[in-house]
Chains A and B, each alone.
Chain A
């Protein structure tokens, strides 16, 4: 018998991801899968389908909706929920604003990205969630390189980088006190390339935003932002039609498009292989300061 069978890197990452999914279902009472409609959360969803086949995914999806999402993202989410008969919890940033918990930013760079941390924490609390599966990967950003698979959060949802539990072998400690919770990252060991290769290998459906298409965009400090009702465009920012695609899908106010002709998965993989910028390079929110990500993580963002 061949022991070489199934040892490709994608198979190993899949095996690990499925293992994490099952640990979460077994160790926690009210887990959720954080679903943004982005490729990482879609891959995570795909792993959950595999982990519990032929059963149903034993936890709901949770989407923190800034209200500023691309319409393609929302359509994709609703189709998926229907097709696979899963429960969906929506946390709405608009509600947080209406309830006076957060204040909308103003000015041209106004974004609800920072506000969603509050909505996320409130929604987790409201549903007494004790583990939230996130699509975060360690290769995304320096602050994530030391993140655990099982990341412990205190009662305020905060992450203390100096006080994380050691993780050894495949033994994950999900024990916690009342009110504390975990963020769990089954894709920790994946890179952007792995995610794309896996999507191609498994023939996974993803939103059309990821493929090259013509769109009206404008240039803001080197980032191509899409023209949507949510962005305050300044006079000197002229609209142009470009062939673009998105490398990450987040809030429309801060997710930049890249100029690209890549219209299928193999072309995207080619493009990622030769890319000269990390995918977060197109995220306006990370550019605010060099340790922006770490600062937001401490507050409870992913």
Chain B
């Protein structure tokens, strides 16, 4: 802590929650002790207490790990057995550490610590290399959607600060991380014991040009995992001091809300407008993700705890049955068919676990058959609830996509789950709705109908959606096609991935939810141009069938035409027009479609262009055929 506090400087501090994970001997407690010690967050009396403890157990150096090993039992066994929370602050940021034990049987604690974290530090012992446990930690971090990972290669002092040892571990981890859904991974060589690159930059690793661990923690973007799009407010409590005031209190799970916004109340489906956002410090003009507020409504609608207030044209999935990843947290194993309780947002419901689809081997990441889940096991399950649950898939919205399972016989929390999607058993489409409309929405007709615009333009409005991996030739073909159309006197618009990412979608990253939002917005924009009579050409990697399927619904039947621009991944890597594959190979970016992220081949494209067989001109000709 700084001695010199600028006046009110703390009002601008923000907050980073991170979790630390490592095997028993990776030196995790020592690292946390080091962070607390070097950032001067340890007080003299605490230091004296651990000096005393270290001496009495016969250790030579002061054991920094003792700072964090709280409970008697674990101090005797010298392992941490439960999630412990630690706090420190620098002038820039306050930090909350969820310190989770690395012991084999404590997967549940890792899941617990990860559930609230913005960042995970994965500790790897440089003298041992990448072990199974580190892989498991990385997998759980990715399953829980922690947006940032830091691989801290510890005990560099034991390998003489050898760059090669570090590089090998980094390469191993990168190779493994391809299977995971994490976009931001940093690698830092440290020695927690000696203090290298933890707070101070080490002179013994002059080959390392990156940040120290603390500097990284101080500067990493904190709200990367937030869903700022979909407004959701689960009602916690109704405030009714007198007949004239009815306020609905809760914390904004995601998105934002303003007075005057049209909202729908679930499960009733009734709509009204937000009248005021009430707080003791005065009414607000807007409430954002994380704000604890009280809303009043224009109309008298019966709303109670467990209900959810959402934006009128943007409602979550409402289903009795859904699929989820479930981590089992109790010695008594999960019994399919037994009745449990689920707690999700502010509602509670009776549930059955219908079926365990598979168990995930957290070490090999393979799927295994299972008819029960034991303590610390993770599986994909089907859940049947006694009443409709309102949710978004966890990957899009962690607050509305998460739940705990309670055993009604003991009242103990026995499981933690992440909703993947509505269950597919009844044959219905199983995605969260990105554009599910309330039945009350009235679409305002266009001022000048498309048909009239088409007549004046002398041609029909069209929409071609070019999809394919990076380097397949989408842009090249679309550009040549647009030039041809322009020369023919047609009205055209070309929407290109890189362009929209600089402007319209400049706020989006490359997480699965951001990618999806990217495509959703482009779809809406394409639709506007389409309705204005243009021939719209869109070139986007758009790797997922589901996203492309969603777009289809925006256009008249049969008018959303997919052009799959295809070539082998070797050819694409060879072309590499934007240098992306090169960066991916060097590990600068991960999650590149066609390299280390999947591309789902369109099932029935209007047109398939193999750019290893057709020239650009031939491809343009093929496109012209479907436009005529």
Partner of A56, one of B73, B241, B292: B241
B287-326 vs A, Cβ < 8 Å mask (1 yes, 0 no): 0111110100000000001000000000000000000000
Enumerate B400-435 residues with CB–CB distance to A below 8 Å.
402-404, 406, 411-413, 416
Chain B residues near A291: list those with CB within 8 A: 72
A194 to B86, CA, bound (A): 14
A175 to B404, CA, bound (A): 13
Given A26-B305, A189-B96 in contact, is the A146-B82 Cβ separation under 8 Å?
yes
Verify A15–B112 contact, CB threshold 8 A. no
Verify A189–B251 contact, CB threshold 8 A. no
Verify B44–A273 contact, CB threshold 8 A. no
Given A10-B11, A51-B292, A170-B399 in contact, is the A161-B251 Cβ separation under 8 Å?
no
Binds B, one of A90-98, A136-144, A250-258: A136-144
A167 to B279, CA, bound (A): 28
B222 interface residue (CB < 8 Å to A): yes
Verify B44–A277 contact, CB threshold 8 A. yes
Central interface residue in A7, A19, A168, by most chain B CB within 10 Å:
A168
Verify A171–B241 contact, CB threshold 8 A. no
Given A22-B237, A55-B240 in contact, is the A197-B10 Cβ separation under 8 Å?
yes
A25 interface residue (CB < 8 Å to B): yes
Given A194-B94, A273-B2 in contact, is the A166-B329 Cβ separation under 8 Å?
yes
Verify B290–A7 contact, CB threshold 8 A. yes
A23 interface residue (CB < 8 Å to B): yes
Verify B49–A3 contact, CB threshold 8 A. no
Q: How far is the CB of A128 from chain B (nearest CB, A)?
A: 18
Which residue from chain B places its CB closest to the CB of A54 in the assembled complex?
Answer: B241
Enumerate B53-89 residues with CB–CB distance to A below 8 Å.
53, 67-73, 81-87, 89
Q: How far is the CB of B397 from chain A (nearest CB, A)?
A: 11
Q: How far is the CB of A186 from chain B (nearest CB, A)?
A: 11
A276 interface residue (CB < 8 Å to B): yes
Enumerate A140-190 residues with CB–CB distance to B below 8 Å.
142-146, 161-162, 164-171, 173, 175-177, 188-189
Binds A, one of B12-20, B349-357, B558-566, B577-585: B12-20
Verify B278–A53 contact, CB threshold 8 A. yes
Q: How far is the CB of B76 from chain A (nearest CB, A)?
A: 11
Which residue from chain B places its CB closest to the CB of A190 in the assembled complex?
Answer: B87
Chain A residues near B116: list those with CB within 8 A: 168-170
Given A15-B291, A22-B250 in contact, is the A165-B43 Cβ separation under 8 Å?
no
A241 interface residue (CB < 8 Å to B): no
Verify B11–A145 contact, CB threshold 8 A. no
A106 interface residue (CB < 8 Å to B): no
A201 to B9, CA, bound (A): 11
A294 to B70, CA, bound (A): 9
Given A145-B68, A171-B402 in contact, is the A9-B3 Cβ separation under 8 Å?
no
Chain B residues near A15: list those with CB within 8 A: 251, 290-292
Q: How far is the CB of A164 from chain B (nearest CB, A)?
A: 7
Chain B residues near A281: list those with CB within 8 A: 43-45
Partner of B404, one of A51, A164, A171, A290: A171
Chain B residues near A269: list those with CB within 8 A: 5, 10
Given A277-B45, A278-B46 in contact, is the A171-B239 Cβ separation under 8 Å?
no
Given A166-B413, A177-B411, A277-B44 in contact, is the A3-B5 Cβ separation under 8 Å?
no
- 14 contacts across the A-B interface (CB closer than 8 A): A3-B288, A7-B15, A9-B15, A10-B11, A15-B292, A23-B236, A52-B249, A54-B247, A166-B404, A169-B399, A171-B344, A171-B402, A176-B411, A197-B11
Binding site for A on B (CB under 8 A): 1-3, 5, 7, 10-15, 43-46, 49, 52-53, 67-73, 81-87, 89, 93-94, 96, 99, 108-109, 111-112, 115-116, 222-223, 226, 228, 236-237, 239-241, 245, 247, 249-251, 256, 278-281, 286, 288-292, 294, 305, 329, 341, 343-344, 346, 398-399, 402-404, 406, 411-413, 416
Given A7-B223, A145-B84, 19 further pairs, Cβ under 8 A: A3-B226, A7-B222, A12-B15, A14-B292, A26-B236, A53-B239, A53-B280, A55-B247, A56-B241, A142-B70, A145-B68, A166-B112, A173-B411, A193-B89, A194-B94, A201-B11, A273-B5, A276-B43, A294-B71
Q: Which 8 A-B pairs have the closest CB atoms?
A: A53-B280, A18-B292, A55-B241, A175-B411, A142-B70, A9-B15, A168-B115, A9-B94
